[in-house]
Amino acid sequence: MIRINITRRTPNLDTIRHTVSMHSINEFVKYLKDNYSFHANKFIAEKVWGLKVAEPYTYNGYTFSIQSKRRSGNILMNGN
């Protein structure tokens, strides 16, 4: 699972930031398509997905950064 920060500066210099959690790049592409009017959703998703933690990527007034990356599979329960 990857947690992605999405930040935007408003014209009056307020900062709007929210964080989304994604399990796959395809899920992130769909999220971008459904919530933003970007023309290059797959390209943006691939750029953001490949970022290192805390490395920013800016596109069309939005800054994307990875808050954390962690595996969501193979979790051991009760020490087994």
Q: Which two tokens stand for residue 72?
A: 């969501």
- Residues 57-76 have pLDDT tens digits of 999 999 999 999 876 554 44
Domain contains 18: yes
Domain contains 77: no
**In which domain, by residue range, is 11 found?**
2-69
Domain contains 11: yes
User: 18: which strand partners?
Assistant: 6
Domain contains 49: yes
CA torsion sign for 67, 72, 78, 80 is negative
Report the amino acid identity of residue 37.
S
Q: For the chain, what is the domain count?
A: 1
- Residues 17-68 have pLDDT tens digits of 999 999 999 999 999 999 998 889 999 999 999 999 999 999 999 999 999 9
Domain contains 30: yes
Q: Strands, E, within 1-80: which ranges?
A: 2-9, 15-22, 56-59, 62-69
Domain contains 75: no
Give, rounded to a whole angstrom, the gap between the first and last alpha carbons of the chain. 22
11 vs 44: CA distance, rounded Å: 23
Q: What is the pTM of this model?
A: 0.81
Q: Which two tokens stand for residue 57?
A: 């990527």
Domain contains 61: yes
